[in-house]
Amino acid sequence: MLNKILYLFLFLIFTHPHNAGSASSDVDLIEQNWPFNGIFGRFDKASLQRGFKVYSEVCAACHGIRHISYRDLGDIGYSADEIKAIAGEYEVIDGPNDEGDMFTRDAKMSDKFVEPYENEKIARLANNGVYPPDLSLIVKARAGGADYIYSLLNGYKDFPENFEASEGMYYNEYYPGKQIAMPSPIMDEIVEFDDGTEATHLQIARDVTSFLAWTAEPELEVRKSLGVKTLFFLILLTIMLLGVKRKVWKNLD
């Protein structure tokens, strides 16, 4: 009996579908082997740092990441000095000061990522009436997760003939309804990676998607390693209980 429970338990854990469900488009997503998937999932820090560069040089022109502070970049391998320098490139409005006035100052490590637009109205005006969503949790908020974001970034094509395209929209196979207000944000060499990695379209899409998987769940590694420890503990406990059971029932079988 215990054996059966153990097998069922292991079966459920190892076959638990990741990112169940698919995006609401009829095209199959491009599936990637992400290092952060699966029970032993880990982030690739070099990829996250490249992804942060893509976010800050490209996506941050339109999208905020309001759940992450500059300080959190320590988790992906930046030193305190590097983070201070990164934050120092941005300005935030703070206050009121003793005179009751608001003032502008350089961002600090403890500030959240600075938003690209002053408010939603201005953001919409700049983007064909559509609000570029905050990207902090987008990987969790979309069916298909990281595979969906990666597919979306690689899903731009010309409008097919006879497609009723709306003004200022772009064709994307993976977006529900197939037309999106975001122009294709990446192309080869749009950023230069500090570690010498070649900045191809696919590499950029992969790295920025990994970065967004991290912003959606910075504590993923802690959660997974706790899960693995718990699993091993339970297996050990089960084996010990089986041993005890055998011993107790030895003379009665």
List of residues contacting ligand HEC (CB under 6 A): 54, 58-59, 61-63, 127, 130, 132-133, 135, 138, 142, 149, 152, 180-182, 185-186, 208
How far lies 21's CA from each of 25, 155, 175, in Å? 11, 19, 15
> Closest approach of Cβ 66 to ligand HEC, in Å?
15
Task: For ligand HEC, give the closer residue by CB, 59 or 87.
Answer: 59
Distance of closest approach, residue 61 Cβ to ligand HEC, in angstroms: 5
Please state the closest distance from residue 51 (CB atom) to ligand HEC, in A. Answer: 9
Question: Which residue, 85 or 125, has its beta carbon nearer to ligand HEC?
Answer: 125
Cα dist. 48→80, 185, 219 in Å? 17, 18, 14
CA 62 to chain centre: 17
Nearer to ligand HEC, 107 or 191 (CB): 191
If the CB atoms of residues 178 and 224 are measured against ligand HEC, the closer one turns out to be 178
- Asked if 63 and 135 touch (Cβ cutoff 8 Å), the reply is yes
Q: How far apart are CA 114 and CA 7, in angstroms?
A: 49
CA triplet 50, 134, 67: central angle to 5 degrees? 75
Q: Quote the CA–CA distance of 171 and 169 in Å, as a whole number.
A: 7
**Smallest distance from the beta carbon of 68 to ligand HEC, in angstroms?**
14
